């Protein structure tokens, strides 16, 4: 196996469940696709090749555990309307559904590839991609086929909204029945938008339970617009993650803390809809594992930048820079039930980001600045 020594690291952040170790004047050795050694540069072993990091900061590749990348069309007019004072609601999703259904596979694949490339250039080495803009058996299946070309973390989101011309009861039966049967072989996860204007608690539970029976893990869009049953259902069904978590009751916070369900916060959505941000400090104080993700989608969070979300988390949700970086790495991995990513320790996949900065603090200290100098995935330089 070929080995690479990353030397002259100014600051190495390793990331783990205890908060992550920070090593100054560090080095890291990669063998094949995995991390083999981390520690002080003075103690580094020999390797076949040496990469001089030049005093820069190195941290794990970002793990974006919530993204909607398979779509067509544009919702610029909707964004302008919101910036002019209109309130965001879920109904705009149907606009994207219509455009996605009309688009050729090649068009959808090209858009997805462009967004994944953007993400990679900004340090994201693992991304989850949902369906949810097809809402027919054929279109949901082809969305997952396209997503699967870019990631193993694919999510069936047939229960995004109820499409026009179909009753809610009929659509729930379709999603939990033939649509799920067609899509489950192409997905690792199932998700439901459990929210007013989309699916209520009983409908969400029925669909998610069918997904569990089909062998899929559970994720839930929960509590974006108001307190609702989404978090309770996520905890009841053993979901990996409850996503948004903007409006939580005390019982919701307790349930997240005791169940181990990750609270995935999506500050890009609040930024893009001028909505209140989640109370990250409340969740962290309760011992909840928090993840950050982009929620990249054409309607409510059209950003592919995890560094931007880190800056928002620090500025708007009062997370410390360390808490935000941990949520964007280790937290995202936990939200995908992965222990091989989001950390830099022996045995983990060699996914790392080299920042053109002396510390990860600069991700929030210098918002909007392209600080990602290099990206390595599985021991290979990809950006």
Least confident of 11-25, 156-170, 280-294, 322-336: 11-25
Output phi, psi for 331, to 5 deg. Answer: -60, -45
Q: State the average pLDDT for the chain.
A: 96
Q: What is the pLDDT of residue 92?
A: 84
Mean pLDDT confidence for 357-363: 98
**Which architecture, in CATH terms, is 62-336?**
Alpha-Beta Barrel (3.20)
Q: Which two tokens stand for residue 213?
A: 């029976």
Residue range 3-61+342-381, CATH number: 2.30.40.10
247 is in an annotated binding site: no
373 is in an annotated binding site: no
Q: What is the pLDDT of residue 87?
A: 75
362 is in an annotated binding site: no
Q: What is the DSSP string of 38-95?
A: EEEGGGPPP-SEEEE-TT-EEEEPEEE--B-----S--HHHHHHHHTTPPP-GGGHHH
Mean pLDDT confidence for 187-202: 96
Model pTM? 0.97
pLDDT score of 90 more than 60:
no
244 is in an annotated binding site: no
What does R_g of the chain's alpha carbons equal in angstroms? 20
For tokens 């991995």, the residue is: 333
pLDDT score of 17 more than 80:
no
66 is in an annotated binding site: yes
132 is in an annotated binding site: no
Q: What is the pLDDT of residue 86?
A: 80
For residue range 208-247, list pLDDT tens digits in order.
999 999 999 999 999 999 999 999 999 999 999 999 999 9
Residue 82's pLDDT band (cuts 50, 70, 90): confident
In sequence order, what are the residues at sequence separation of 6 or more whose Cβ sits closer than 8 angstroms to the Cβ of residue 162?
168, 171, 198, 199
Give the H or E element holding residue 218: strand 217-222
54 is in an annotated binding site: no
209 is in an annotated binding site: no
For residue range 295-349, list pLDDT tens digits in order.
999 999 999 999 999 999 999 999 999 999 999 999 999 999 999 999 999 999 9
Mean pLDDT confidence for 255-277: 97
Q: What is the pLDDT of residue 89?
A: 60
Report how far residue 348's alpha carbon sits from residue 60's, in angstroms, rounded to the nearest whole number. 10
Task: Check residues 81 and 291 and name the one with the higher pLDDT.
Answer: 291
Instruction: List the domain boundaries for the chain.
Output: 3-61+342-381, 62-336
pLDDT score of 23 more than 80:
yes
Neighbours of 155 (CB within 10 A): 28
- Is residue 158 exposed (0-12), middle (13-18) or buried (19+ Cβ within 10 Å)? buried
């Amino acid at each position: 196996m070929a080995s690479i020594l990353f030397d002259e690291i100014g600051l190495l952040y390793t990331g783990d469940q205890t908060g992550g170790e920070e090593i100054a004047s560090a080095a890291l050795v990669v063998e094949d696709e995995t991390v083999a050694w981390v520690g002080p540069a003075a103690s580094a072993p020999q390797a076949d090749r040496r990469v001089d990091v030049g005093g820069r900061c190195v941290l794990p590749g970002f793990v974006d555990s919530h993204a909607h990348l398979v779509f067509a069309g544009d919702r610029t007019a909707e964004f302008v309307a919101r910036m002019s004072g209109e309130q965001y609601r879920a109904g705009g999703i149907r606009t994207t559904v219509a455009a996605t259904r009309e688009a050729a596979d090649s068009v959808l694949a090209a858009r997805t590839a462009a967004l994944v490339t953007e993400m990679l250039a900004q340090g994201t080495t693992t991304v989850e991609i949902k369906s949810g803009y097809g809402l027919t058996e054929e279109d949901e299946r082809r969305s997952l086929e396209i997503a699967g070309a870019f990631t193993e973390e694919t999510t069936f989101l047939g229960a995004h909204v109820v499409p026009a011309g179909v009753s809610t009861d009929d659509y729930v039966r379709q999603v939990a029945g033939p649509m799920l049967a067609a899509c489950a072989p192409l997905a690792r996860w199932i998700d439901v938008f459990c929210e007013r204007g989309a699916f209520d608690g009983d409908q969400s539970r029925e669909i998610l339970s069918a997904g569990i029976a089909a062998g899929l893990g559970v994720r839930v869009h929960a509590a974006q617009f108001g307190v609702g049953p989404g978090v309770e259902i996520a905890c009841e069904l053993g979901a990996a993650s409850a996503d948004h978590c903007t409006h939580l009751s005390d019982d919701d916070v307790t349930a997240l803390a005791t169940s181990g369900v990750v609270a995935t916060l999506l500050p890009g959505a609040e930024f893009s809809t001028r909505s209140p941000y989640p109370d990250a400090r409340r969740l962290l104080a309760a011992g909840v594992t928090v993840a950050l993700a982009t929620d990249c989608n054409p309607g409510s969070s059209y950003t592919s930048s995890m560094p931007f979300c880190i800056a928002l988390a620090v500025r708007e949700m009062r997370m410390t820079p360390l808490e935000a970086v941990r949520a964007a790495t280790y937290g995202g991995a936990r939200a995908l039930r992965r222990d091989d990513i989001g950390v830099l320790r022996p045995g983990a996949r060699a996914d790392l980001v080299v920042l053109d900065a002396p510390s990860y603090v600069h991700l929030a200290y210098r918002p909007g600045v392209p600080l990602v100098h290099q990206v390595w995935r599985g021991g290979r330089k990809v950006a």
